[in-house]
Amino acid sequence: MIEQQITTGISLETFKNLPEDEWIEVINGELVKQTMSASYKHVNVIENLYDLL
């Protein structure tokens, strides 16, 4: 997933330094949310906003 972010114009350094629970939208319209837990970074991709309901 990080590789996809890099190819859509978000550098790896920028990605690592985003605040916790930051939302970013990639070119293909997917919404990406990152969260931190026990020093691990988790990236959740929500392909459709209805998945949030």
Separation CA 41–CA 53 (nearest Å): 24
Average pLDDT of adjacent 10-residue blocks, the chain of 53 residues: 51 69 58 57 54 48
Name residue 28's amino acid: N
Please tell me whether the overall predicted TM-score, pTM, comes out greater than 0.85 for this model.
no
Domain boundaries, the chain: 2-52
* Structure tokens belonging to residue 14: 């920028």
Separation CA 28–CA 17 (nearest Å): 22
- The phi and psi torsions of 18 (rounded to 5 degrees) equal -65, 145
pLDDT for res 17: 75
pLDDT for res 13: 74
pLDDT for res 48: 52
